Structure 1
């Protein structure tokens, strides 16, 4: 298959490796969008100018057997929500390759696994919050982003077969041209299995600062892990301050303690001097929600339903 007659509108759900190599210029560094816990993401450009994001998972990733993998991926592809990134196609293909092993060259079967997503031009929330364009995001936009992220987690957690993210962080939240947030990388707990997802996420230093302590240290997996990560993200958006764990302290307690101590109503007014009174209430309540989400005792954290209810009760324009 070549990219000649393929457009975004008629993109097949299952794609061969050669097609994905063609649209990414053989996974060229010039088209590399980012690298994370599960692999690298490339910009794929179709002949009609359409663009997709191609995630190339690490070779021989511990994904399930072909039929189970295809079923799980197709289940994820069926999920549609304004605040989650759409998975549009996938590839799972085994090829024989000459590799070196113990000083000898042998023929080994190497399986390539790739996932194709909608492309979002604004990039990650992390880039937009803490990159060069961060200062241009006003409170109304920030509040919209918080609401959208919460709606996405609510959607995933309340499915008939709930989907846990287990790797939620600003780098995995993308923004479209209207600054609408969309959660990415949300199905790996289904594809890899929850424990393997945890190990992959934990292996990346930039991820662990968003992991709940019971998940990071004890391997306890539940929806409350996502709530902890969500709380940190809500605080980052509200305070404009980045949670930056060090390699020797992989949790976020110093950041949380700082927010709790410093972000008084006076601090909010000094950081947001031009917003209206009802917006000041929104900032204060969002910080309060964030702090509730990062309780060490996981049973004290609010459910996503309660979080959405609290946000929806806030005074609006």
Structure 2
């Protein structure tokens, strides 16, 4: 008798998951299950009853912006997104529990709300890890595919009027086929239909990736993402790290790329590449440097960037 394809537990999951279930699949949020830790919380590996793996992010109490806001941003903004280059949200949990806590020297029973987000598990980890923390060097064809994939994902995000606000190598995750997926929408902003920019007093983000007009004036627009994208493209192309140290900007990194990555230098760094691939490297450097222009009006739109990338000969067979 022919067997029908049974749906996996993952495909039948309700969007809202019980806290006890998430505790169980992460071995009570065991340290052995930690995949990574960031400003907004800790990500754990969860094993579903059918053996499938998901990533469970437990939001921190002391994140740079209120935990409820991060939770709402992620759930509302990311649930609208279904695209090959955007990480898929498979479930969430926002559950209150009574806990005994110490308050002003007295033990009291308080309602503590836990906020968790569950994503598809991406086996190859972050772009940061693959660029800078592994012994083997990512081949150019793979890096070019990653750059194009990130741009396709961002084009989709911008089309539905969301600004990500935290693009960086840690927030690009890679699947088995090294397909990049934009993750972590905790800082993202959803713009109104006619709105193209907004202002804020509360500047939060990652040093070295924050657009200058946001950093110094609190101005947000989709060109804020283009600035961060430029740095991502430059890092992926050069395999050199944007290390701002205590500086909030990437001025030094950009200056080094602008001065050093000449046509002659590209040839010396990539002697094994053919003419088409060398042109890809050169164009990616040019695009990256245009994206990090101080004047945001001079930065290209994501559509223009994709047109240029798609116009390059694809040497991947």
Is the TM value for this pair above 0.5? yes
Q: Tell me if the contact between 1:83 and 1:152 (Cα under 8 Å) persists in the aligned partners.
A: yes
1:55, 1:154 → 2: CA distance?
26
Q: Which SS does the other structure have where 1:151 is aligned? A: helix
- Cα distance, 1:292 vs structure 2: 0.4
Q: Which SS does the other structure have where 2:91 is aligned? A: strand
Alignment of 1:98-177 (within 5 A): 98-135=100-137, 137-159=138-160, 162-177=161-176
Alignment of 1:53-132 (within 5 A): 53-59=55-61, 61-63=66-68, 69=72, 73=75, 76-132=78-134
1:189, 1:108 → 2: CA distance?
31
Q: Deviations over 1:242-281 (max 9, x none)?
A: 101112x121000000000000111111111111101111
Alignment of 1:140-219 (within 5 A): 140-159=141-160, 162-186=161-185, 188-190=187-189, 199=203, 201-202=204-205, 207-219=206-218
* Residue 274 of structure 2 corresponds to residue 288 of structure 1: no
Q: Which SS does the other structure have where 2:51 is aligned? A: coil
Q: Partner residue of 1:35? A: 37
> Structure 1 stretches (4+) deviating beyond 4 angstroms?
194-199
CA RMSD of aligned residues (A): 2.4
Q: Which SS does the other structure have where 1:310 is aligned? A: helix
Q: Which runs of 5+ in 2 are unaligned?
A: 1-6, 191-197
Change (3 A) 1:197 1:313: farther
Q: Deviations over 1:209-244 (max 9, x none)?
A: 111122123221111111010000100111111101
Q: Which SS does the other structure have where 1:157 is aligned? A: helix
Q: Partner residue of 1:300? A: 298
Match of 2:46 among 44, 51, 66: 44
Change (3 A) 1:272 1:242: same
Q: Which SS does the other structure have where 1:9 is aligned? A: helix
TM-score (norm 1): 0.88
1:186, 1:134 → 2: CA distance?
30
Match of 2:271 among 259, 270, 273: 273
Q: Tell me if the contact between 1:59 and 1:111 (Cα under 8 Å) persists in the aligned partners.
A: no
Alignment of 1:249-268 (within 5 A): 249-268=247-266
Q: Tell me if the contact between 1:59 and 1:110 (Cα under 8 Å) persists in the aligned partners.
A: no
- Cα distance, 1:103 vs structure 2: 2.1
- Cα distance, 1:300 vs structure 2: 1.0
Match of 1:17 among 19, 22, 43: 19
1:78, 1:300 → 2: CA distance?
30
2:70, 2:133 → 1: CA distance?
40
